[in-house]
Amino acid sequence: MKSLLLTLVALIATTSVLFAQDTSYGVRAGINISNLDFDPDATFSNQHRNGFAFGGFVDHGFTESFSGYVEIQYSAEGAKADDLRADYIQMPILARFSIGDNLTIGAGPMVSLKTWKDDDAFATFAYSGVGGIEYMITDELFIDARVHYGLSNILDDDIEGLEAQNTTFQFGFGIKI
């Protein structure tokens, strides 16, 4: 099922490239403020983690006001405790709408692949919803803000009675090249 999902995402991204009317590429970096939401509530200290993110993107314009955005990024997330740090390679896929000359909003799904030490307590893949807003400072430079809300349990399914979802606020800047 996971390989089918990744194949579908790759097919959509490739098709988008072929039919895009206006395509831009770039790099982006950001600061994360993230935490894990436990169910049932954690009985231990669960403080937020400040991390970073960086990656590259392709923005495919279909019309002047609608585009599809695909990014590959590294993101340091999770909670502050060493055992709760969750670093990922992520692929957000956003449907984006221009709401002015310099302002764009977007939302979509995101798949994450864990990159931290191999620990049986954590699931290999995580799925999230992502939404954000971007402001173009110049034709090339932009700032943005996003929120990632975990839709899947990042803990391994074998851990009975405990689930955790990752929630991350990300503030970034980038350049279109």
Position 6 scores a pLDDT of: 54
Domains present along the chain, CATH in parentheses: 2-176 (2.40.160.20)
Q: Say if pTM beats, i.e. exceeds, 0.85.
A: no
The pLDDT-based confidence of 11 (bands split at 50, 70, 90) is low
Give exposure, 142-156, as e/b (b: 16+ Cβ within 10 Å): bebebebebebbbbe
Position 84 scores a pLDDT of: 78
For the residues 34-48, what does the mean pLDDT come to? 74
Position 135 scores a pLDDT of: 97
**How far is it, in rounded angstroms, from Cα 56 to Cα 91?**
10
User: By mean pLDDT, which of 20-29, 106-115, 120-129, 165-174 is the weakest?
Assistant: 120-129
CB atoms within 10 A of CB 110: 23
Position 161 scores a pLDDT of: 72
Position 38 scores a pLDDT of: 79
Residue 141 φ/ψ region, left for φ over 0, alpha for ψ in the -120 to 50 degree band, beta for the rest: beta
The pLDDT-based confidence of 159 (bands split at 50, 70, 90) is low
Structure tokens at 122: 């954590």
Residue 18 has pLDDT above 60, yes or no: no
What are residue 102's phi and psi, to 5 degrees? -120, 0
Give exposure, 80-97, as e/b (b: 16+ Cβ within 10 Å): beeebbbebebbbbbebe
* β-sheet bridge partners, residue 146: 132, 170
Average pLDDT, the chain: 84
